[in-house]
Chains A and B, each alone.
Chain A
Amino acid sequence: GAVVSQHPSWVICKSGTSVKIECRSLDFQATTMFWYRQFPKQSLMLMATSNEGSKATYEQGVEKDKFLINHASLTLSTLTVTSAHPEDSSFYICSAVGGSYEQYFGPGTRLTVT
């Protein structure tokens, strides 16, 4: 089956620093990837849609200058949380479009900002 990886799986950073999260489709090409955020005991919330070679489309209320998304190749999208603050601590999950109907999700990245 289609496999999506994320790196790192967890990260702790200090307030004010930036953190980059990678999302890779390992055995397929993905023209579209999605980024989600999940707070404890809550459901996934879509942050942005990432299309290879073009600018990401952000959901309402998501700061595009804070959450930088780059989809430079058909197998890699990155999410950079700039000037992270404790309220950005969350579980970040990406998904990649692997066919006509399915999205395949990565294992998630746990970000803790101290």
Chain B
Amino acid sequence: DAKTTQPPSMDCAEGRAANLPCNHSTISGNEYVYWYRQIHSQGPQYIIHGLKNNETNEMASLIITEDRKSSTLILPHATLRDTAVYYCIVGTGANSKLTFGKGITLSVRP
């Protein structure tokens, strides 16, 4: 079973920020939070990961709560191409097995 829970879906307007929540209340101290996304009929794409500090890269920002029990992925200016299923996953590093839950389907509307 996935160790994370996400709402099944959400939508946002193009150009606006998309904030995708994730709960991981049983996360262990050595586990990272990873975010991947899957556009229809393609392989998942790595977005970002973090341990306890907030992280930002060219794609997104990751905000992790102080108790590490939840996090939020922020796409600052969503575009139509960001429409995808977003997976929040916890793991101990690149060699760890990733357990994909159902993810959250983000629909960006014009």
Q: Are A100 and B94 in contact, with the CB atoms below 8 A?
A: yes
- Select the residue from B36, B94, B97 with max chain A CB neighbours within 10 A: B94
B94–A91 touching, CB < 8 Å: no
User: CA A105 – CA B45 in complex, angstroms?
Assistant: 7
Instruction: Check B44–A97 contact: CB distance below 8 A.
Output: no
B40-82 interface with A by 8 A CB criterion: 41-46, 49
Complex-state Cα separation, A98 to B102, whole angstroms? 25
Q: Which of B71-109 contact A (CB under 8 A)?
A: 87, 93-95, 97-103
A99 within 8 A of B: yes
Q: Are A46 and B99 in contact (CB under 8 A)?
A: yes
Q: CA of A36 to CA of B89 in the docked complex: distance in angstroms?
A: 15
Chain A residues contacting B45 (CB-CB under 8 Å) are: 105
Give the contact-size bracket for chain B.
20 to 34
Is the pair A105, B43 in contact by a Cβ cutoff of 8 Å? yes
A-side binding surface: helix, strand, loop or mixed?
strand
Residue in B45, B46, B93 whose Cβ sees the most chain A Cβ within 10 Å: B46
Contact A102 B94 (CB under 8 A): yes
Residues of A with C-beta under 8 A to B87: 43
- Cα distance A108–B100 when bound, in Å? 16
Smallest CB separation, A5 vs chain B (Å)? 10
**Interface residues in chain B, defined as those with a beta carbon under 8 Å from any beta carbon in chain A:** 32, 36, 38, 41-46, 49, 87, 93-95, 97-103
- Starting from the known contacts A36-B100, A103-B98, 15 additional A-B residue pairs (CB-CB under 8 Å) come to A6-B43, A34-B97, A45-B100, A46-B97, A46-B99, A91-B41, A95-B98, A97-B94, A99-B94, A100-B94, A101-B32, A101-B93, A101-B94, A104-B46, A107-B43
What residue in chain A is nearest B44 (Cβ atoms)? A105
Given contacts A45-B100, A101-B32, A104-B46, contact A32 B95 (CB under 8 A): yes
Which one of A44, A45, A103 lies within 8 Å of B94 (CB-CB)? Answer: A103
User: Given A100-B94, A101-B93, A102-B94 in contact, is the A43-B102 Cβ separation under 8 Å?
Assistant: yes
23 A-B contacts (beta carbon < 8 Å): A32-B94, A34-B97, A36-B100, A43-B87, A45-B100, A91-B41, A93-B44, A95-B43, A95-B98, A97-B94, A97-B95, A100-B93, A101-B49, A101-B93, A101-B94, A102-B94, A103-B94, A103-B98, A104-B46, A105-B36, A106-B43, A108-B41, A110-B41
